[in-house]
Amino acid sequence: MAIQFALQDGKSLSQRPSIAAYVVDRAFFLAAGLGAFTIVALVAYILWEIGGQALPAVIKNGPQFLVNTHWNVQNQSFGILPQIWGTLYSSLLALLIGGFVGVTIAIILTQDFLPHQIAVVFRTLIEMLAAIPSVVFGLWGIFVVIPFIRPAADWLHDVAGFIPFFGTSLSGPGMAPAVIVLAIMILPTVAAISQDAISLVPYKVKEAAYGMGTTRWEAILKVIVPTASGGISSSLVLGFGRALGETMALAMLIGNANQISLSLFSPANTLASLLASNFPEAGQIERQALMYAALVLLAITLVVNVIGTLILAWTSRKIVKA
């Protein structure tokens, strides 16, 4: 039976949109498009500006810049290998710690380990970590973390000093305190997004797993976490991105020493901390070199994000297939 849309007097129920509706619709479309375009234009402009200012340094230093290990203002010869190393090393270690803790917290808070009210309190507390200013984290690192880890660090250096990771003694600011603080700083990002991802796993999936006789841990580790792996890995990528760009706390904690060392207790430097601490007094040529370093940091962040997106696409395709 066909449905009749015509009204009794022969007019159709459907009609052309009024002019007002048309204008509002167009205006909304344009505004949304403009907003999206502004973001693209802004990023392009920033790239253009940084790239333009970095250009003389790029031409002068070339790819040597990436492998040279000295930042020598006196001779105007610049290289950022120690900073690239410090950035990646500190961020990876922080991701290892912060990622593990963040995902664990997400599991505990979503899988009914805690009464609902207490879980809410925990969740709020973790989100509050994200609101603490970076400089407070830095001060906390100097006055709390460093004295706290010093006995353990001294012991490790005495007992296991032959292992490169513990090869130097901890004097104060250095890789280890920086990594610990950085891990705490990326914790809220990782925990919040992982929680969302895990709670998005359909209840049916969990029930099916239990129905097949899995224990709680088996259900969590073999079914729920893999199902949520797309969201979890994107939380890790975002956390890593945050760690790469973190500036103030690291400038205070990492020790600002341009050296490449595997030791967790020796001072190092990162790109963002180099930029923050050298810009104020930089002369023209140093400023161009700093812009080049900023460009490299941007490129590293871009590569990390692309890899993250690829992982996300790959894992979600696997799940759809399965």
Partner 1 sequence: MRHSSNKLTARPLAGLIQALILIVATGHGTTAGAAGIELRGAGSTFSAPLYEKWIDAYQSIHPSVAIHYDAIGSGEGIARFDAETVDFGASDVSLSAAETAKIRRGAIQVPGTAGMIVLAYNLPGLAGPLKLPQDVYLDIFMGRVRTWDDPRIKTANPGLSLPHKNIAVVGRKESSGTTFAFTSHLAAVGKRWIEEGPGVGKIIDWPAGAMIARGNEGVASRIKISDGSIGYVEYGFARRLGLPVALLQNQAGKFVAPSQESGGAALATSAGQGLDNLAPALANPKDPEAYPIVTYSWLLLYKTYPSDHANAVKSFVEFGLDAGQPLAAELGYLALPPAVADLGKSALSQIK
Interacting residues toward partner 1 by CB under 8 A: 70-75, 142, 146, 150, 158, 168-173, 255-259, 261, 266-267, 277-278, 280-281
Q: Which is nearer to partner 1, 72 or 215 (CB)?
A: 72
**Shortest Å, Cβ 22 to partner 1:** 49
DSSP code at position 78? E
Specify burial of residue 131 (Cβ count, 10 A radius: 0-12, 13-18, 19+).
Answer: exposed
Q: Which is nearer to partner 1, 211 or 280 (CB)?
A: 280
**Shortest Å, Cβ 54 to partner 1:** 21
Q: Which is nearer to partner 1, 71 or 240 (CB)?
A: 71
Q: Around Cβ 314, how many Cβ atoms within 10 Å?
A: 11
**Shortest Å, Cβ 277 to partner 1:** 6
**Shortest Å, Cβ 158 to partner 1:** 8
Backbone angles phi, psi at 72, to 5 degrees: -110, 100
Q: Which is nearer to partner 1, 94 or 170 (CB)?
A: 170
Cβ atoms of residues 273 and 247 within 8 Å: yes
Distances from the Cα of 105 to the Cαs of 168, 276, 296, in angstroms? 33, 33, 33
Q: Cα–Cα distance between 213 and 223 in angstroms, integer?
A: 12
Q: Which is nearer to partner 1, 176 or 190 (CB)?
A: 176
Rg (CA), the chain: 26
Q: Which is nearer to partner 1, 79 or 241 (CB)?
A: 79
DSSP code at position 115? -
Of 249, 269, 143, 130, nearest to 186 (Cα)?
130
Q: Cα–Cα distance between 23 and 125 in angstroms, integer?
A: 46
Q: Cα–Cα distance between 300 and 85 in angstroms, integer?
A: 12
**Shortest Å, Cβ 150 to partner 1:** 7
**Shortest Å, Cβ 160 to partner 1:** 14
